[in-house]
Amino acid sequence: MRFAKLATWQLTAGAAVAGLALAAGSVAAAGPWDSGQRTAERERAAALEDRGGADHGTPASRKDGTDARARKTPAAAPSAPSVLAALAAPAGTGSAAVPEERALAKVLDPLLNGGSLGAQRTAAVVDAATGKQLYGKGAGEALTPASTTKIATAVAVLSAAGPDHRITTRTVLGPGSGKAANVVLVGGGDPTLTARKDAKGNASLRTLAEDTARALKAKGVDTISLRYDTSLYSGPLVHPIGLNGNIAPVSALMADEGRLDDSASGPAPRSGDPAADAARTFAKLLRDHGIKTEPSDPSSAKAPDRAEELASVQSPTLSALVERMLTNSDNDIAEALARQTALATGHPASFDGGAKAIHEQLQKLKLPLTGARFADGSGLNRADRLSASLLTALLARAADPDHPELRPVLTGLPVAGFTGTLRNRYADVADAPGTGLVRAKTGTLTGVNTLAGTVVDTDGRLLAFAFLATGTTDPKTAQSTLDRAASALAACGCS
């Protein structure tokens, strides 16, 4: 028994170290984008391997390009062989052997045919270099995808708006008469705007207040009437699931995702009117900088066309927002990115408009949309329907060297046993081979468990996979089965 424990520890540690080296290599292959998720991987890998590298930090900025926060000394990025080596060459030119369908079925069928996955289960495994399906089980059947929907949202927004796009929150000077000038706080849909003292690379409401106060004082203004504009978005604010700790009302203006506690991710008490709360906070920040607001409580109003801008702050790049959304399964960011897709493609920035924009954008990319239905951008809506074939096609397209703008879809996926929603999974002996090697987006609703991502097999081949299960009754057991299936791919020399 002592020997067995030692072997398990060695297996887990070996997989973790190898996986971290490969994960770190994917950062280098991914280009100049960065976010907290990849920083966390770098720090952990650097602690284990103590190797140097470069920093590619991209914090939020003022519109003039200056950082909205002081730069801290970056953590070193470890050097490592690239997990996405196939991305640097034409598809299909990788030297690693391609797994055979019969061999994959031998390792996956016993897991996917088990009773823990409920009444319906589908699966697909594809070669990421070529997009060729290597294994399928009802792969074309569309089921409820839960949060794996966010993979589709990520591909859509990156292809529609571009990875370098930033979301602007601004203040403008409105028309008015009398002693108090009219100032409008205009929401641009930034889901990461923060009022906290440590902005952590996000656009800061405090910075915007400071810059706005400076601009007003330069005009000799010390008293204003404050309004706020959320007209960029339309339609219902509340997600169809209703008021819920998993997502705030979706507004073009909010601070800290409308959270009423100090949390940064996960379920939390939420504001019923995040725009009004953000405006009240902004008014207080202005007063702290010597600008009086009369009345003290701001009201809603549309900013006039061609209004004079006083100040602005910008979000991190969309590539960074995509990574954060995928790593933490952030529903607020997901719905904001669906609306950014709508805005970039001429649709209303609403639940319906975002869903239509995502579908149309994926159609332009010639992805397999048979049976697909989008009802939101986050996957919280049970009306969403995606197939395993579509999910693996999305991942393969993100690995396509002809689409480097989609690379954050891969680099944002949680790393098994280390980051995001996979941080506390892959701890069991049966899951250990996938630790550090599996990168995947999780999906969980009552009776629904899904997992879609990438893995490097023992031959060094990058595979994309998707597993969907509906009608599950024990979510923990279902999750474990899906994790074991992904780990089986990591441990497979199936050529």
> How many domains is the chain partitioned into structurally?
2
The answer to whether residues 174 and 248 belong to one domain is yes
The answer to whether residues 332 and 311 belong to one domain is no
pLDDT digits 0-9 by tens, 245-267? 999 999 999 999 999 999 998 99
The answer to whether residues 363 and 448 belong to one domain is yes
Instruction: Indicate the average pLDDT of the chain.
Output: 85
Identify the CA nearest to 462 among candidates 14, 159, 129: 129
Q: What is the pLDDT of residue 9?
A: 35
Average pLDDT over residues 465-488: 97
The answer to whether residues 428 and 326 belong to one domain is yes
pLDDT digits 0-9 by tens, 400-426? 999 999 999 999 999 999 999 999 999
- Reported as half-sphere exposure (CB side, CA atoms, 13 A), residue 406 has a value of 23
pLDDT digits 0-9 by tens, 51-84? 333 333 456 666 555 554 433 333 332 322 333 4
Domain boundary among 262, 296, 315: 315
The answer to whether residues 381 and 441 belong to one domain is yes
Q: What is the pLDDT of residue 71?
A: 34
- The answer on pLDDT for 372 being more than 60 is yes
- The answer on pLDDT for 91 being more than 70 is no
Domain assignment present for 482: yes
Q: Give, in degrees to the nearest 5, the angle at Cα 333 between 332 and 335.
A: 70
Q: Give, in degrees to the nearest 5, the angle at Cα 273 between 271 and 275.
A: 110
The answer to whether residues 255 and 400 belong to one domain is no
The answer to whether residues 332 and 298 belong to one domain is no
Name the β-bridge partners of 449: 444, 469
Domain assignment present for 11: no
Q: What is the pLDDT of residue 241?
A: 93
Domain assignment present for 64: no
The answer to whether residues 89 and 223 belong to one domain is no
Q: What is the pLDDT of residue 493?
A: 79
Q: What is the pLDDT of residue 354?
A: 98
Domain assignment present for 179: yes
Q: What is the pLDDT of residue 90?
A: 39
- The answer to whether 408 touches 165, Cβ cutoff 8 Å, is no
Domain assignment present for 177: yes
- The answer to whether 46 touches 77, Cβ cutoff 8 Å, is yes
The answer to whether residues 481 and 447 belong to one domain is yes
**Residue 328 lies in domain:** 85-163+319-490
- pTM value > 0.75: yes
Of the two residues 403 and 297, the one the predictor is more confident about is: 403
Q: How far is CA 349 from CA 230, 344, 489, in A?
A: 11, 10, 40
Domain assignment present for 16: no
Q: What is the pLDDT of residue 174?
A: 85
pLDDT digits 0-9 by tens, 455-467? 999 999 999 999 9
Q: What is the pLDDT of residue 60?
A: 66
Domain assignment present for 20: no
Lowest mean pLDDT among 18-22, 236-240, 299-303: 18-22
Q: What is the pLDDT of residue 26?
A: 40
- The answer on pLDDT for 124 being more than 90 is yes
Q: What is the pLDDT of residue 433?
A: 85
The answer to whether residues 264 and 389 belong to one domain is no
Domain boundary among 267, 296, 315: 315
CATH code for the domain in which residue 178 is found: 3.50.80.20
Which percentage of the chain shows pLDDT scores above 70? Answer: 80
- The answer on pLDDT for 495 being more than 90 is no
pLDDT digits 0-9 by tens, 2-29? 333 333 333 333 444 444 444 444 433 3
CATH code for the domain in which residue 369 is found: 3.40.710.10
Active site residues: 147, 150, 329
The answer to whether residues 190 and 172 belong to one domain is yes
The answer to whether residues 193 and 337 belong to one domain is no
Domain boundary among 315, 336, 355: 315
Q: What is the pLDDT of residue 299?
A: 94
Domain assignment present for 174: yes
